[in-house]
Amino acid sequence: MITVSNIKKSFGRLQVLDDISFKVDKGGIIAILGPNGSGKTTFLKILLGMVIADGGKILYQEKDISKSHEYRKHIGYLPQIARFPDNLKVREVIHMIADVRNEPSNPEDLIKLFGLESFLDKNLGNLSGGTRQKVNIVLTFMFDTPVIVLDEPTAGLDPVSLIKLKDLINKAKAAGKIILITSHIMSLVEELADEVIFLLEGNIYFKGTPQELKSRTGSEDLEHAIAAILES
Amino acid sequence: MIKIFKYSFSDLMRSRWSFIYLGFYMLLGFVLLFLNNDLSKGIITLMNVIVVLTPMIGTIFGVMYFYNSREFTELLLAQPVKRSVIFLGQYLGISISLAMSLIIGLGIPFLVYGVFRSGEIFNFLLLLIAGGFLTFIFVAISVCIALFNANKIKGFGYAILMWLFFAVIYDGLVLLSMMVFADYPLDDFALLVSFLNPIDLSRIMILLKLDISALLGYTGALFQRFFGTNLGFVMSWLMLVIWTCVPVLLMVRIANKKNF
């Protein structure tokens, strides 16, 4: 479904992605890990067409993504920072994204799930960070997209909402979707991920299951496995 | 594009600043008309305010809106929509909401005073159209500046400097060069430089329509000879259109290549 070949990107003199290639053919949860500034978000943004790569290409369903914006119909994206126009109401922004995408959406169940009913008529500028993140989650999951990209989805969420989010992710996985996720919360990654791609200095340092990563470094959990890689 | 425009427009129309801007024009209009008690004098004073103020507000709003809605723009960029559509939609949202504040804010006091019953209606419309053009031009330039500069403070600084250049520094430079080269014929030069600055161009267009070019002496006569003709009239409007299109096209070009 997604083929990434030789993606390169630098910002000025800083080489963020050196040579990234991998392939995803079947559904499942893929965690993209790496230290701060290792290019996780940059990679996701290249996949979404928000950052333009210096070299290499990404194919989605055998088609080069730089040629057309249509492929984004198939991708749901949860950005790292949730900010919206301050004077729009929650109801309006949900309606707007549905309107812009022009596809069937089902926000009602998600609104109920995250208890956002009472916020629907509030201005987005007056919401707390966590509530905005919930709105963001509704916007991402209200469409039935075969690929979901989640960039630090847990930021600002309370434990109850976190459990609900995990359920959503697992349901999406059960439906055979491809879920790309970045997170610094290793327990979450360990719990969810089928596969781990570890980025270090612009290259893929490791690609495999979380178990393989642990046994390779001889660590009990993912957190220590990552620490072992970074310290060696 | 219409969809993006619709939402950013309705967002801006509800912002406090749009109301303050509208209220300011309304107050200005009422005060000028009822103190002056003369439509044509009111229009001249308004012209002096509009040719400086609309570019300034356009510049500040353009930069501010761009930086404030950055994350939201990113969210839109991840949707199946063309980049140019997103930026044009937002650009129209800002420009049209500002132009509306100007038109409604000044329109109400002039309507109340009875502009329709006087011969000044065309001059008044010209004033509004010139103000509209200046808004569109300066919003586009300031969005370009914001697209070039990731740093908010820098972008804001450059944008204000750009406005200051067109509103004040440019005239100073022209005046200076006229004094230095006073011994040479400067007729064509004077015409040319006024074309290269949208603020000067709008000011001259309005002044000449108000038939007070006699006050401008020889230069006024020269300008009247050019702008008074059909060619001059068409050329000056065309120039304003070019001044709008070039930064808009530049904006779309930068936006298409930019990393977000």
**pLDDT tens digits, B3-43:** 888 888 888 888 888 899 999 999 998 898 888 777 778 88
B11 touches chain A (CB under 8 A): yes
For residue A194, give the nearest of A214, A175, A179, A216 by alpha carbon: A179
- Domain with residues A2-231, CATH architecture: 3-Layer(aba) Sandwich (3.40)
Interface test mutation site (partner B, options A96, A105, A137, max chain B beta carbons within 10 A): A96
**pLDDT of B204:** 83
Give the type of residue at A162.
Answer: L
- The verdict on A198 touching B (C-beta cutoff 8 Å) is no
- Report the pLDDT value the prediction gives residue B137, as an integer from 0 to 100: 96
Q: Identify the segments of chain B with pLDDT beneath 50.
A: none
CA dist A178 and A199 (Å) reads 19
Tens digit of pLDDT at every position of chain A (232 positions):
889 989 899 988 888 898 889 888 888 999 999 888 888 889 999 998 889 989 888 988 888 888 888 888 899 999 887 677 777 789 988 988 898 888 888 899 999 999 999 999 998 888 888 899 999 999 999 999 999 999 988 888 899 999 999 999 999 999 999 999 998 888 888 888 999 999 888 888 888 888 888 888 888 888 888 888 888 7
CA distance A184 to chain B (A): 21
The string of DSSP letters for chain B reads -HHHHHHHHHHHHTSHHHHHHHHHHHHHHHHHHHHH--HHHHHHHHHHHHHHHHHHHHHHHHHHHHHHTHHHHHHHHTSSS-HHHHHHHHHHHHHHHHHHHHHHHHHHHHHHHTGGGSTTHHHHHHHHHHHHHHHHHHHHHHHHHHHH-SSHHHHHHHHHHHHHIIIIIHHHHHHHHHHHTTTS--HHHHHHHHHT-HHHHHHHHHHHHTT-GGGGHHHHHHHHHHHTSHHHHHHHHHHHHHHHHHHHHHHHHHHHH---
Residue A216 structure tokens = 């390779």
Could you tell me which chain B residue has the CA closest to the CA of A46?
B259
Say if the Cβ atoms of A79 and B74 lie within 8 Å: yes
Q: What pLDDT was estimated at residue A214?
A: 85
- In this predicted structure, what is the pLDDT of residue A84? 78
pLDDT at B211: 67
DSSP A121: T
Query: What are the residue ranges spanned by the domains of chain A?
Result: 2-231
pLDDT at B217: 65
The predicted structure's pLDDT at residue B53: 93
CB B109 within 8 A of CB B33: yes
Give the end-to-end CA distance of chain A in Å, rounded to a whole number. Answer: 35
Q: How far apart are the first and last CA of chain B?
A: 20
- Mutating which of B1, B10, B11, B253 best tests the A interface, going by the most A Cβ atoms within 10 A? B11
ipTM value for the complex: 0.81
pLDDT of the residue at B212? 66
pLDDT at residue B216, rounded to an integer? 66
Tell me, yes or no, if A1 comes closer than 8 A to chain B by beta carbon: no
Residue with tokens 């049209």: B96
Interface check for B7 against chain A (CB to CB < 8 A): the answer is yes
